[in-house]
Amino acid sequence: MKTFIPDNVIIRENALDYPLGEKLYNTFNESEVRTRVVSARGPFPFDNNVSFKKKYHRAKKTLVLSVRTLSKFQTCKPSAHYQLPLVSGCPGHCHYCYLSTNLGKNPYIKVYVNIEEILEKAQDYIEERKPENTIFEGAATSDPLPPEKWTGSLSRTIEFFSRNQLGSFRFVTKFTEVDPFLKLDHKQKTEIRFSLNSKYSIKKFEPDTPGLEDRIGAAAKTYNAGYKTGFLIAPIFIYEDWEQEYEELVKKIGKSLNTRGQGLSLELITHRFTARAKNIIEEVYPGTELPMNEEERQFKYGQFGYGKYVYPKETMHKIKSFMEKIINSYLPRAETKYFV
């Protein structure tokens, strides 16, 4: 089991005005983790006369306690109606991760300590959309599970939505420390999804994350605890044994959860990259074998106006047809929400 332990903890001074900020300050200040309080705004006390690569890797081991401004929540299609900003960043080192460009050269793991205010803001959005149900995504710019050991924010959020008739919550993770959620009275208002990939892809491109069997094992726990459970199979890569390994992956899901897909959701995303992401990835992970040959891809403009390199149409059709076939074989009752 991969447990996130930061090398550095940076605390914005206004975070100490909140119970969670004060609690975490006391916890880390009494530990061996280097802990510093800094002003509410401004730079962090790090040596910036170092390489981009070193800054990036340092940030991945730095936990920041901050206060989230609440002007508005970002929308979050197609996953949900709104992002729920509990955490940003992730300690994993997945070579392909979009956070490489989204969070820039300093992808700190940032925790927002004003959790009650954030949930009150979520309630405002729920009230605005009555009588429709409002869905919130907790992992739009993060994997929110690694800091949960310290914060308890996901548990607090699960309990909040369990009491809410017209709001629901979902998040996705590659990590496995789900035991604190298993005894919560969630009332099936939270969907926990697990990001999975083939064994080859995890070994090659997902350092510092749990293995495939551990992730599926954690999913079996949440499924058996009555949570809505889903899987994000992403990014799907084409390589020599890809069909065999992705079939093994889907087969393992059905066998481990002892289900033919009843109550499961699936989201399927093929590998894609931008020119900016490629530059960052090659600098931060020199020698990566991530397939980023533009000549083998098709250029496509995305919903946010920037271009990305995706598999050609013929390859996309091949992947989609194959994934549909194996899902129908092993998880025929699962709901495939989308394939992109």
The tally of CA atoms less than 13 A away on the side-chain side of residue 268 is 23
User: Does the pLDDT value for residue 115 go beyond 60?
Assistant: yes
Assign 160 to helix, strand or coil. Answer: helix
**Identity at 11, one-letter amino acid code:** I
Residues written for the chain: 340
Q: What is the pLDDT of residues 266-322, one digit of tens each?
A: 999 999 999 989 999 999 999 999 999 999 999 988 666 678 999 999 999 999 999
Task: State the DSSP H helix or E strand holding residue 195, giving kind and residue range, or none if neither.
Answer: strand 190-196
221: which 2 tokens? 């726990």
Where does the pLDDT of residue 102 fall: very low under 50, low under 70, confident under 90, or very high at 90 and above? confident
pLDDT at position 79 is 82
pLDDT at position 302 is 67
pLDDT at position 48 is 87
Give just the sign of the alpha carbon dihedral 169, 175, 177, 178. Answer: positive
User: Does the pLDDT value for residue 99 go beyond 90?
Assistant: no
- H runs (alpha helix) in the chain: 19-29, 52-59, 99-102, 115-128, 148-151, 153-162, 199-205, 212-224, 242-256, 275-284, 313-330
pLDDT averaged over every residue in the chain: 94
To the nearest 10°, the Cα dihedral for 209, 221, 137, 166?
A: -170
Maximum alpha-carbon separation in the chain: 57
**Identity at 267, one-letter amino acid code:** E
pLDDT at position 305 is 63
**314 or 98: whose pLDDT is higher?**
314
Interior CA angle at 238 toward 140 and 273, to 5°? 40
Closest CA to 194 of 214, 180, 179, 208: 214
Tell me the domain boundaries of the chain. 8-339
Closest CA to 232 of 336, 113, 114: 336
* Residues in a beta bridge with 233: 196, 268
User: Does the pLDDT value for residue 34 go beyond 70?
Assistant: yes
The span from the CA of 25 to the CA of 22, in Å, is 5
Closest CA to 125 of 153, 85, 78: 85
Q: What is the pLDDT of residues 117-168, one digit of tens each?
A: 999 999 999 999 999 999 999 999 999 999 999 999 999 999 999 999 999 9
User: Does the pLDDT value for residue 103 go beyond 80?
Assistant: no
What count of other Cβ atoms lies within 10 Å of the Cβ of residue 258? Answer: 9
CATH number of this structure's domain 8-339, picked from the four choices 3.40.50.2020, 3.40.366.10, 3.80.30.30, 3.30.70.100? 3.80.30.30
* Inter-residue contact 139 to 169 (CB < 8 Å): no
Closest CA to 273 of 76, 101, 139: 101
Q: What is the pLDDT of residues 190-228, one digit of tens each?
A: 999 999 999 999 999 999 999 999 999 999 999 999 999
